[in-house]
Amino acid sequence: MTSPKDVLPIATNKRLVLASASPRRLDLLAQIGLVPDEIIPADIDESEKPAEAPRALAARLALEKAQALRAQLDANTLILAADTVVGVGRRILPKTEMPEQARSCLELLAGRGHRVYTGFCVLSSDRVITKCVTSRVRFKNLSIDEINAYLASGEWRGKAGGYAIQGRASAFISNLIGSYSNIVGLPLYEVSEVLRGAGVTFETGKE
C-alpha cells in the first residue's frame, strides 16, 4: 500500500485535519494524493448505545469524532473523521483487543456473510456532512488451523470484527460487494466527492 512518505501530495485550497491515528486511513488518503496537514486523533467514548444498529453506530461515532475537534476549526479548515463497524445482522462485533475476542469473531464470520460500515464526517466552520457506506463480505469456511494461524499473526489487534482485509485475511474472502477501501477504513470515492462538495479544489502537486 502507498505510504504518505512515498507520494507527491496534491495541493488543495483547504487545510485538512484527520481526526484519526489509524495508519490505514492515512495510507488510503495517500493513494489518492491526499496528505492531511495535521493528524489529531479524537478521544471519545466509542461505546454503542442500547439497541443501536451497526450503521447508526458508525455514522454517530464519525460525527462525534469530528465534533470533538470543532474548537480547532478556522474558516479554511476541514476535519475528516471516520469509524468502521462490522455487523452480523444487528449484532455489532468488537474492535478486538484479546485473542479470545478475535477467535469468537472469526468463528462467527466463518462460512457466512457480514457487512462492513464506515461512517465518515467532513466538518467545516459552516457545514457538517456525514455519510455511511456499506460493503458486503462473505468468508469461506475456516478450519481451526486457519483461525489459529491468523491469531498467531497478530493482525487482528484493534480491528473491527477481528480481521484486516488488506492482510492475511484476504485469503478468507470468498465474495465482496461494494467498496474495498471502505472495508479497510475509508471509502475513497465517497470521501473525495464530499470533499469536493465542501469546496476543496485539487491542484497538481509541485516538487
What's the CATH number where 16 sits? 3.90.950.10
Task: Identify the pLDDT of residue 145.
Answer: 98
Residue 26 lies in a domain: yes
pLDDT digit string, tens, across residues 77-128: 999 999 999 999 999 999 999 999 999 999 999 999 999 999 999 999 888 9
Residue 38 lies in a domain: yes
Domain encompassing residue 167? 4-201
Residue 144 lies in a domain: yes
Question: What's the pLDDT band for 69 if we cut at 50, 70, 90?
Answer: very high
Residue 171 lies in a domain: yes
> Is the confidence at residue 32, as pLDDT, over 90?
no
Just list the catalytic residues. Answer: 83
Q: How much of the chain, in percent, has pLDDT values that exceed 90?
A: 77
Residue 207 lies in a domain: no
Residue 139 lies in a domain: yes
Task: Identify the pLDDT of residue 198.
Answer: 84
In this structure, are strands 113-123 and 77-88 parallel, antiparallel, or unpaired? antiparallel
**Alpha carbon distance 46, 33 (integer Å):** 29
Residue 71 lies in a domain: yes
Nearest to 32 by CA among 95, 80, 86: 80
Residue 31 lies in a domain: yes
Q: How many structural domains compose the chain?
A: 1
**Alpha carbon distance 168, 187 (integer Å):** 21
pTM over 0.85: yes
